[in-house]
A and B are shown apart, each in its own frame.
Chain A
Amino acid sequence: MMVTTGILKAKKIWLFALAAVTLLFAFNTTSFSAAYVQSWHLVDSGKHLDYDGDSIYMSHITTGAGIWNGYKSGVIRPDSIWVIEDVYVTDIEIANGYTGVTYASGKIELNVYYLSDHSTTRRTNTATHELGHALGLDHSTSTDIMGPIQTTILTLSQNDKDSYDLAYSKY
Chain B
Amino acid sequence: MTIVVAALIVGAAFGFNFFNKDTNVKNAVSEVENVDTSKLPIFPIRGSFVYDVNNINEAVGIVDYVFVGKVVRNDGTIYKGIITMESENGPKEVGTPYTKYAIQVIDNIKGALIDTIEVLKHGGVSQDNKGNKGVFIFEDDLLPEVDKFYIFLGYAQKDGSIIISGPNSNVPLNVSDKQSNNLTKQSLSSLSVYQQYQEAFENQIISVQRERFTSKYEK
Contact with B along A89-112 (1 / 0, CB 8 A): 010111111111111111101000
Given known pairs A88-B85, A105-B126, the reply for A95 and B210 (CB within 8 Å) is yes
Is A52 in the interface zone, CB < 8 Å from B?
yes
Given known pairs A97-B62, A103-B96, A107-B83, the reply for A133 and B46 (CB within 8 Å) is yes
Chain B hits for A129, CB < 8 A:
48
Cα(A170)–Cα(B46), bound, Å: 19
Give the total of A residues in contact with B, Cβ under 8 Å. 41
By beta carbon, the residue of chain A nearest B139 is: A139
Contact A149 B48 (CB under 8 A): yes
Which B11-64 residues have C-beta < 8 A from chain A?
13-14, 17-18, 21, 24, 26, 43-53, 62-64
Name which of B86-94, B107-115, B178-186 contacts chain A.
B86-94
Which A64-116 residues have C-beta < 8 A from chain B?
79, 81, 84-85, 88, 90, 92-107, 109, 113-114
The distance from the CB of A113 to the nearest CB of chain B, in whole angstroms, is: 8
Name which of B68-76, B155-163, B192-200 contacts chain A.
B155-163
B-side interface size class: 35 or more
CB < 8 Å A-B pair total? 131
Cα(A148)–Cα(B18), bound, Å: 37
Chain A hits for B52, CB < 8 A:
149
Is A29 in the interface zone, CB < 8 Å from B?
no
Is A160 in the interface zone, CB < 8 Å from B?
no
Given known pairs A54-B24, A129-B48, A149-B50, the reply for A84 and B156 (CB within 8 Å) is no
Cα(A97)–Cα(B85), bound, Å: 26
Contact B134 A85 (CB under 8 A): no
The distance from the CB of A51 to the nearest CB of chain B, in whole angstroms, is: 11
Which B137-185 residues have C-beta < 8 A from chain A?
139, 155-158, 163, 165-166
Contact A103 B51 (CB under 8 A): no
Known: A95-B212, A102-B45. 13 other contacts (CB 8 A): A38-B44, A39-B43, A39-B44, A53-B24, A90-B24, A90-B81, A97-B166, A98-B48, A98-B165, A99-B49, A103-B96, A148-B48, A150-B49
The distance from the CB of B6 to the nearest CB of chain A, in whole angstroms, is: 17
Contact A40 B43 (CB under 8 A): yes
The distance from the CB of B78 to the nearest CB of chain A, in whole angstroms, is: 14
Is B136 in the interface zone, CB < 8 Å from A?
yes
Query: Shortest 5 CB-CB distances between A and B: which pairs?
Result: A101-B47, A104-B43, A81-B17, A96-B165, A98-B47
Cα(A93)–Cα(B211), bound, Å: 12
The distance from the CB of A143 to the nearest CB of chain B, in whole angstroms, is: 14
By beta carbon, the residue of chain A nearest B128 is: A105
Given known pairs A81-B14, A95-B157, A114-B210, the reply for A88 and B94 (CB within 8 Å) is yes
The distance from the CB of B132 to the nearest CB of chain A, in whole angstroms, is: 10
Per a CB cutoff under 8 Å, which of A96, A99, A106 touches B85?
Answer: A106
Cα(A125)–Cα(B212), bound, Å: 25
Cα(A96)–Cα(B87), bound, Å: 30
Cα(A109)–Cα(B82), bound, Å: 11
